[in-house]
Each structure stands twice: as structure tokens, then as C-alpha cells.
């Protein structure tokens, strides 16, 4: 698995996912493609906004190269339109950073279980926006 963000954030994720291992990190989209190609992790977590190539471009490249890794996009941009674009690019999930504390670990578990997880800003009267 490849996690975004600082070592401190990764340590926080790791506390909730002790059975998961971070196998590699990349600081930009271009390096991410190389790292994903080399390690072929079960799950890749990409920031939508990265230098070099954004998360959507990296996702499309993973799909194009038929790399078996599942992709989760983590982003500060939280909209259903963007979630749809992420889905069309071939990602298996989308979590807004404003909901990461609540949704990231369930998203990881759900995606690793072979399903998709698309979290967006909650719709009025519901806990979670519909997929």
C-alpha cells in the first residue's frame, strides 16, 4: 500500500491498519507511476493534486498499463462531479480530506475487499452521499 502525506499522517493511518504495510512513497505523479509499476501494491492512495501528473492522470496510466493495483484518490476537493470523474478515470475510491478521519480506513478496507468506496459531502438528511 502506498499512503499519502507526511510520515506523521502515515503513522496515524498505520495505527488503525496495523495489518497493512506501506511499501513505497512518491512525492509527485511521475515518480508515482514508476513506484507503482515497480512495487504493484494492492492499494495505491493518491492525492488528486500532485506535481508532475495529477491523481487522475496517474490513475489513467495505472489502468492503461494494466497494473493490478487498486486506486483510492484522497483530495481536498470534495464534490460529486469530481467523484464521478475519479470513477470514470478507473479509480476504486474517492475520499475528501475533510472526511478522511471518518472515511479513510473504511475506504481502504472496502477497496481491499474488492468493492468501491466513493465518499462525498453528505447529502441533507443522510450520513453519506449515495454512490
For 14-64, what is each residue's pLDDT tens digit? 556 778 888 888 989 999 999 999 999 999 999 999 899 999 999 999 999
Q: Give a yes or no: residue 14 inside a domain.
A: yes
Q: Give a yes or no: residue 113 inside a domain.
A: yes
Measured from the Cβ of residue 101, the count of other Cβ atoms closer than 10 Å reads 10
What is the per-residue pLDDT across 53-95, written as a single tens digit (0 to 9) for each? 999 999 999 999 999 999 999 888 877 888 889 999 999 999 9
Alpha-carbon span 79 to 10, nearest angstrom: 25
- CATH number of the domain that 60 lies in? 3.40.50.2300
**CB-based contact 35:2 (threshold 8 Å):** yes
Q: Give a yes or no: residue 76 inside a domain.
A: yes
Average pLDDT of span 8-17: 56
Alpha-carbon span 1 to 36, nearest angstrom: 9
**Residue 90's domain spans which residues?**
7-118
Residue with cell 479513510: 104
Q: Give a yes or no: residue 128 inside a domain.
A: no
- 77 or 129: which carries more pLDDT confidence? 77
Alpha-carbon span 125 to 131, nearest angstrom: 15
**CB-based contact 10:22 (threshold 8 Å):** yes
Identify the band that residue 124 occupies on the pLDDT scale cut at 50, 70 and 90. very low
Please report the pLDDT score of residue 123 as a whole number: 37
- 96 or 6: which carries more pLDDT confidence? 96
- The answer on pLDDT for 8 being more than 60 is no
Q: Give a yes or no: residue 108 inside a domain.
A: yes
Alpha-carbon span 71 to 26, nearest angstrom: 14
Q: How many folded domains does the chain comprise? A: 1
C-alpha torsion angle, residues 115, 74, 51, 2 (rounded to 10)? -60
Q: Give a yes or no: residue 28 inside a domain.
A: yes
- The answer on pLDDT for 11 being more than 60 is no
Would the CA dihedral through 35, 36, 38, 42 be positive or negative?
A: positive
Amino acid at each position: 500500500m502506498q499512503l499519502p502525506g507526511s510520515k506523521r499522517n502515515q503513522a496515524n493511518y498505520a495505527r488503525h491498519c496495523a495489518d497493512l504495510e506501506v511499501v513505497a512513497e512518491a512525492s509527485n505523479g511521475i515518480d508515482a507511476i514508476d513506484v507503482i509499476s515497480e512495487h504493484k501494491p494492492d492499494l495505491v492512495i493518491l492525492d488528486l493534486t500532485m506535481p508532475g501528473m495529477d491523481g487522475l492522470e496517474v490513475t489513467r496510466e495505472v489502468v492503461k498499463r494494466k497494473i493490478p493495483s487498486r486506486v483510492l484518490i484522497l483530495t481536498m476537493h470534495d464534490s460529486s462531479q469530481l467523484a464521478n470523474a475519479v470513477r470514470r478515470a478507473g479509480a476504486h475510491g474517492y475520499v475528501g480530506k475533510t472526511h478522511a478521519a471518518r472515511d479513510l480506513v473504511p475506504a481502504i478496507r472496502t477497496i481491499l475487499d474488492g468493492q468501491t468506496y466513493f465518499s462525498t459531502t453528505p447529502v441533507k438528511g443522510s450520513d453519506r452521499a449515495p454512490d
